[in-house]
Amino acid sequence: MPFKQLGLPDSLVRGAQAMGYAQPTPIQQRAIPVVLGGRDLIGSAQTGTGKTAAFALPILARLGAHRHGPPRVLVLEPTRELAAQVETAFRELGRFTNLRVAVIHGGVGYGNQRAAIRNGTDILIATTGRLLDFLQEKTLSLAGIEALVLDEVDRMLDMGFIHDVRRVVSQCPPKRQTLFFSATIQPEIEAVAKFALHDPERVEIGRSRSVVETVTHATYPVLHEQKFDMLLAILNRTDFQSVIIFSRTKHGADRIARKLKSAGHTTAVLHANRSQNQRTEALAGFKDGRYEVLVATDIAARGIDVSGVSHVINFDVPEKPDDYVHRIGRTGRAQADGDAFMLVTPEEAGDLRDIERFIGAHIERLALDGFAYANGAPPHIDTSRPMKNPRRKQGGGQQHQRGGGNGGLSKGARGQNQSRSSSGRPHGGGNPSHHPKGKPGGHWRRGGR
């Protein structure tokens, strides 16, 4: 179905095409007509499926022409990175209109943001902290808001912003259109929806707990003291285009980045202790290829929308299972193929089981020579029957194996690995010839990506 058939004006169809949207994604097909019709909406879809355009395009269409004055649309985002990216999306999609877009967030000075508000804007994208600052000093009024968008609502709840969100909603006119967009719909979101939305339409694409099917994911059991050596081994043996490495802590991210730089990898860091200029430079450098590796905390799990990320590596197992879905959703975006690995110590085995229960699938265990638990093989690994994977990064390097030490997957593990998604694709598999992407191990890049 072309965008024109969704009821969008030609100027926005051209904007969508200029951004590379050939056809609307499923969330766009279902959400755009609802928003154009003026109804409140709760929209849920996996990361990388085009949620921003699903609300930006119909909002731009409903606004019409620019008016000088206070904002008519408010979009709340949980992080600075997301606010900046959504602003860019609105500008690009509305490039053939005269509508004005402004963004306000912390980490930078107030001067330019005050000027943008004074000059008048149709669409305001904001983080809650800076928005409440402007509301308190009466620089800004929300009395003219016609549409309120709460984006990544589950992330706002996780970050403790629920009370700030309520304060913002209370300052918007009762008669307005309200849209919730999120990758997961938790019970807490239902409570927020009751006071913020009126008789909302619900649009859910795919299982909110499932992993995008274009991503192949696997784990590497490893001792804690061997983690960084294994990370280097994986990077040295894998033909990656660009990779995001996730750390649980800010200090851990800094430490990983320092070691990677010492090992010769061009590396940037993204976490909450970095200044806004540092965060902006890191993300820009990663996007344009100056940095091949980006080391980040979970602030980036929903704040990075970079095409062409070929690999995600979880240096630490995430504490919350839904964070795993968001982390590996940074690759395999817009129907592209991607690969995601996770380094799992014995202490993190329980967190891994929680993730598998959450997504409803077994995650394949892989191993490298020289990396295994000290006392015996990793869980689900049978070392009695070696089965080596002969494929390797061009130019040599040690072989990857399915199994610990010199082993392969046990019969029981191969049976577990045949968990299938709703489409019938296996999540991993013991038999290389039946791997989802036809590539043993799930981490060897195809040519041309």
CA neighbor of 324 nearest in space, from 305, 294, 307, 302: 302
Backbone dihedral angles phi then psi of residue 236, each to the nearest 5 degrees: -70, -25
Tell me: pLDDT of 399 over 70: no
How confident is the model at residue 361, as a pLDDT? 87
List helix spans (H) across 171-287. Answer: 187-196, 227-237, 250-262, 276-287
> What CATH code would you report for 215-442?
3.40.50.300
pLDDT at 321 over 90: no
Average confidence (pLDDT) over 248-264: 94
Which pTM does this prediction carry?
Answer: 0.62
Q: At 70, which amino acid appears? A: P
Distances (CA, A) of 338 to 46, 53, 231, 394, 447: 15, 22, 18, 19, 13
Per-residue pLDDT band for 187 (boundaries 50, 70, 90) equals: low
User: Over the stretch 45-96, which tens digit does the pLDDT of each residue have?
Assistant: 766 678 899 999 999 999 988 888 899 999 999 888 889 889 999 999 999 9
pLDDT in the model for residue 332: 61
**Residue 430 near residue 414 (C-beta atoms within 8 A):** yes
Q: Do domains 3-205 and 215-442 have the same CATH topology?
A: yes
Task: Give the model's pLDDT for residue 395.
Answer: 40
Phi, psi of 218 (to 5 degrees): -155, 165
Tokens of 33: 């007509």
Question: CA nearest 140: which of 93, 103, 190?
Answer: 103
Q: Considering only residues 52 and 377, tell me which one the structure prediction assigns the higher pLDDT.
A: 52
What is the predicted pLDDT for the residue at 36?
A: 96
Q: Report the pLDDT value the prediction gives residue 334, as an integer from 0 to 100.
A: 53
d(CA 305, CA 287): 9
Q: CA dihedral defined by 52, 55, 59, 62, rounded to 10 degrees?
A: 140
Domain boundaries along the sequence of the chain: 3-205, 215-442
- 3-205 CATH: 3.40.50.300
| Burial (CB count <10 Å: 0-12, 13-18, 19+), residue 148 | buried
User: Exposure of 79 by Cβ count < 10 A (0-12 exposed, 13-18 middle, 19+ buried)?
Assistant: buried
- Distance separating alpha carbons of residues 39 and 26, to the nearest angstrom: 18
Q: Choose the weakest-confidence range: 9-18, 213-222, 397-406.
A: 397-406
> Taking 80 as the threshold, does the pLDDT of residue 282 lie above it?
yes
Positive or negative CA dihedral for 197, 202, 206, 212?
negative
pLDDT of 158 higher than 80 = no
Cα dihedral 362, 363, 369, 374 sign? negative
